[in-house]
A and B are shown apart, each in its own frame.
Chain A
Amino acid sequence: MTTTVVTGLGVIAPTGLGVDDYWKATLEGRNGIAPITKFDASGYPSSLAGQVVGFHAADHLPGRLLPQTDHMTRMALAAAQWAWDDAGLDPAQLPEFSAGVVTASSSGGYEFGERELRNLWAKGASYVSAYQSFAWFYAVNTGQISIRHQMRGPTGVLVSDQAGGADAIAHARRQIRKGARVMLAGGVDSSLCSWGWIAHLASGRVSTADDPRRAYLPFSADARGHVPGEGGALLVLEEETAARARGARIYGVVAGHAATLDPPPGSGRPSTLEAALRGALADADVHPDEVDVVFCDGAAIPELDRIEAAAINAVFGEGAVPVTVPKTMTGRLFSGAVALDAAAALLSIRDGVIPPTINATAAPDLGLDLVTETPRSLPVRIALIVARGIGGFNSALVLRAA
């Protein structure tokens, strides 16, 4: 069987631009959640977010791309360039159809769309940007990345809310198995504008706390919802033999994946999350005892936290595996979340350290060994990432040391 390895990372997060800044901040437990400054959120019941700070698109992108890109696409294009640089590859130098890209998307380019809708009502149709035709669109990050880097191989976009990042990485692995030379996969997301904010609040899952240290507390007795964030990561995936042949640095192996769908609300049937965890481990041919850390979904909704803890305990045994939610530092990044967790897991493998779940205190009745406040040093060979999306999406991804 073809082995798919990760050879490059491009990270853009509320806690740092680029892998090094992000990882340093993550191990320091820096909180990237703060009052929203991108728009006036003072009139809304929730006003905290994980915002990417210090990213100036014009420093990273050609001027010709600026009028046609939403903020999330600009961040995705920067992360893509960083991932290729990190991998030491330029896909434009590869044979024409050998490089592809699969991204996850949850909402599209909301900020761009909001501005153009405002132009439509306030000034009229002739004031709406022609680039609105694609700048808001779900598939736009995949499209812009493939055009910029001349990647004419297999491309796609996966839309399964926060589970999407895992599904995108898994689909890219499928394309490597089918013969693609190299794939870029992951997600970079943002919908922190007043229109996007209304959509987030409509989920009923956004914390209304004012204190950035008390707002997003997964698995805690006082869990009260999540904090939305922006950013994500893109990963360079290659077949192992080809990667080794070119002397690439290998972060780890994309070893297993499974996705399930929950029954509809009110059906009375249980969540299928546990089956996703077991499926991913089976796909990776990994026994639960071999897993060193679980990066949890961490919804911070008491009922959803109970379901996730129960699934983890059913698979591993109560308190038998360290679990963590570094999302507490960034907020939930939707289609960017799993890719960022995957980057963190690969860096955990590299450095032998589990990043902390800041601010949270594990509720004793959940039976989890939650790594809180400070990183825990231990050898990490195998990591499981758990992800859920609104709409019943469950997805699990296994990464292991090469």
Chain B
Amino acid sequence: MSTTEFTLADLCRILTEAAGADGSTAISDDALDTEFEELGYDSLALMETGARIERAYGIRIAEEDLAAALTPRALIDLVNRMTAAA
């Protein structure tokens, strides 16, 4: 069981690598429940982000689980569940 938690900061870093950035891409705690689409990340940006998370954390995320994680909080929780199970 992994003890390293996947955090909002980790997500922001990987989102920037995956989808680029203009200025700061930091997602504030207030936006944890805002949908990615509203934050400006489309489905391809999230696929690319998902692939990078899989590589970095050595996990597999099912496509339907990734598609169902509509907000930063949902995706962070998903990654932490997968790493805990790994």
Contacts and interface: CB of A to CB of B under 8 A. Distances in A.
A68 B44 contact: yes
Interface string B6-21: 0000000000011111
A130 interface: yes
A204 interface: no
Contacts of B55: 126-127
A62 B22 CA distance: 6
Contacts of A98: none
B21 A63 contact: yes
Contact of B20 (A65, A127, A130, A133): A65
Contacts of B47: 130
Interface in A44-87: 62-68
- Which applies to chain B's interface (DSSP): helix, strand, loop or mixed? helix
Contacts of B18: 67, 130
Contact of A64 (B17, B22, B51): B22
Main secondary structure of the interface of A (DSSP, over half): helix
Chain B interface residue count: which class? 10 to 19
A290 B25 CA distance: 59
Interface in A119-156: 126-127, 129-131, 133
Interface string B24-59: 000000000000000010001101100100110000
A63 B17 CA distance: 11
A142 to B, nearest CB: 18
A131 B20 contact: no
B54 A67 contact: no
Given A131-B44, A133-B44, A66 B20 contact: yes
Nearest to A127: B55
Contacts of A127: 51, 55
A62 B20 CA distance: 9
Contacts of B44: 68, 130-131, 133
Contacts of A129: 48
Indicate the member of A64, A65, A133 with the most B CB atoms within 10 Å: A64
A127 B55 CA distance: 8
A67 B48 contact: yes
B60 to A, nearest CB: 9
B54 A63 contact: no
Contacts of A133: 44
Q: Which has the most chain B C-beta neighbours within 10 Å: A62, A63, A67, A130?
A: A130
B51 A126 contact: yes
B21 A64 contact: yes
B28 to A, nearest CB: 18
Contact of B48 (A65, A66, A130): A130
Given A130-B44, A130-B51, A67 B22 contact: no
A339 to B, nearest CB: 28
A63 B45 CA distance: 13
Contacts of A130: 18, 44-45, 47-48, 51
Contacts of B19: 64, 67-68
A63 B16 CA distance: 9
B54 to A, nearest CB: 6
A263 to B, nearest CB: 43
B20 A63 contact: yes
Given A64-B40, A126-B54, A126-B55, A131 B48 contact: yes
Q: Which 3 A-B pairs have the closest CB atoms?
A: A130-B48, A130-B47, A64-B20
18 contacts: A63-B20, A63-B21, A64-B19, A64-B20, A64-B21, A64-B22, A67-B19, A68-B19, A126-B51, A126-B54, A126-B55, A127-B55, A130-B18, A130-B44, A130-B48, A130-B51, A131-B44, A131-B48
